[in-house]
Structure 1
């Protein structure tokens, strides 16, 4: 059977692992674990998800080591209706489908499982907690064109190219009000806030026990994000001046409404997560931080945290 050389190269690329995630969890030390919501599979260590930022059709490999012992024997008297709650499992279901029954596959000490080809795209998986502590090592082929510090700093520089400082004063202005430029700028603004800053601070201070390395790059990202908040306020000022043609102004407002409505929705979602029962039950050093967050009294921010009034004002301008 002849296999073209390009196919061999493609297959090799799918297992050229460049990212390893190490995890440890002792379920008995966790005060609160979510219940699997669709199929009654019990306690979840990791909710349903796809692995993201991977090379297309690359293989995900997971090695699982559970410290089986007396805790695993505690389930011997259970009246089991489904999976053994003492044993760790990986759950698998068709993506965005809760009608087709899900599958729970037991993971014993030293087991390895692979997600091949497009399985990670067509299906979602979760991790179902057992009773014993567990280590896992997940190996991925990350797509380094996105999701890296180099990438997101490059995106910030791209957005900030539209910010102009008057050399004769401290006044700031925008170089362009073209809809495409504004759209790109505001989408990067959202990406920095929700894919980086809020994701990072949601983890609380737990990782400071291991390293504080991430604090400096995240502080730099927050500095860029603050400039983007200012740039959004400058766009709003230009819209209120009515110096554009009506068509241009309406295009700009429509563009702003899309990204600001999304920003408002995501801010509310992240705030709710930080105040959830699960979050409140965590030890103090593990509690998520809703950051960035500010009140209207904090005058160093050009726009409010709650964008509802801004959105309503823009909607009124195009009526």
Structure 2
């Protein structure tokens, strides 16, 4: 990372520590209390200090630092530790859980490598592929697109499918494309797995559409319709809210100032009248419709045959 080529770096917002190369965060999906090790190598910079950088109290702005602060606490002062060429630092025991850390940019280019003990029961490619396969097990063989037919209409099965739909969309696809295309310069390994996940996600859109067809059918017993609506309304409301958030994030002022290859991409995204998609991107009207159906049915009592 070369700060001289990255004029868009944000200022550290709480303690006046200067430009951040990496914002405040925890490392996630790790074995509980496992150590995190980071090796840092700063390239040789100019002999004279930069005249452009402000004089920051407590740290040399020309030297890279790692910052630490108590999690979600901006009253207790943070700590900035200098990182010299070839330094290695460790976060031991519960430090990563109780504290957040950031990387404060210096003047010279820097390379680093982070070494973690990953929690592999979730958060892996094998895990999410298995989850997607589980969701699509409810589709009858041979059915596809508008002809998707479901094996089970049990509310628990439908809810699980919609939750997996959200998981692959927001924890995988949107997270990946938010990084832009910068990683493709290093490797294209993830292109095929992400294409596979997007194809499975697309089938889940057909599944959601099939569920909605069942809900809208005339003659469906009120109790059955209510149970189905209750099962899917939560995940669909979450989907609408998160899509709005991700779309706004990708269109933010900061995102628009990034270089083209680093600019976030809002993907999956489609226009409202796209004939290739069974449902709209914006689910506001759909969620309102389902809430209306649920409210209409609530006063009615299920008639026994």
Q: Give the TM-score, by structure 2 length.
A: 0.89
Counterpart-to-counterpart distance in 1, 2:65 and 2:51: 15
Counterpart-to-counterpart distance in 1, 2:275 and 2:232: 23
Q: What SS does structure 2 have at the residue aligned with 1:65?
A: strand
2:279 matches 1:303: yes
Match of 1:255 in 2: 231
Alignment CA distance shift 1:78-1:174 (3 Å): closer
Moved more, 99-108 or 150-159: 99-108
Alignment CA distance shift 1:80-1:247 (3 Å): same
Match of 2:250 in 1: 274
Alignment CA distance shift 1:201-1:309 (3 Å): same
Q: 1:41, CA displacement in angstroms?
A: 1.7
Alignment CA distance shift 1:219-1:243 (3 Å): farther
Q: 1:184, CA displacement in angstroms?
A: 1.4
2:260 matches 1:284: yes
The alignment of Structure 1 onto Structure 2 pairs a total of residues equal to 294
Q: How does 1:55-204 map to 2 (within 5 A)?
A: 55-70=31-46, 73-74=49-50, 79-165=55-141, 171-204=147-180
Counterpart-to-counterpart distance in 2, 1:250 and 1:96: 40
Q: 1:140, CA displacement in angstroms?
A: 0.6
Q: 1:124, CA displacement in angstroms?
A: 1.3
> 8 Å contact 1:86–1:131 — kept in the other structure?
yes
Counterpart-to-counterpart distance in 2, 1:248 and 1:48: 47
Counterpart-to-counterpart distance in 1, 2:15 and 2:233: 38
- How far does the alpha carbon of each residue in 1:15-35 deviate from its partner, in whole angstroms, 9 at most, with x for none? xxxxxxxxxx10110130112
Q: 1:72, CA displacement in angstroms?
A: 6.7
Q: 2:23 aligns with which of 35, 42, 47?
A: 47
Q: 1:223 aligns with which of 199, 207, 229?
A: 199
Counterpart-to-counterpart distance in 2, 1:201 and 1:36: 25
Q: What SS does structure 2 have at the residue aligned with 1:141?
A: coil
Alignment CA distance shift 1:76-1:316 (3 Å): closer
Counterpart-to-counterpart distance in 2, 1:144 and 1:155: 14
Match of 1:211 in 2: 187
Q: 1:47, CA displacement in angstroms?
A: 1.1
> 8 Å contact 1:75–1:84 — kept in the other structure?
no
> 8 Å contact 1:186–1:259 — kept in the other structure?
yes
Counterpart-to-counterpart distance in 2, 1:241 and 1:71: 75
Structure 2: which 5+ runs fail to align?
296-305
2:8 matches 1:27: no
RMSD: 2.2
Moved more, 57-66 or 177-186: 177-186
Q: Give the TM-score, by structure 1 length.
A: 0.85
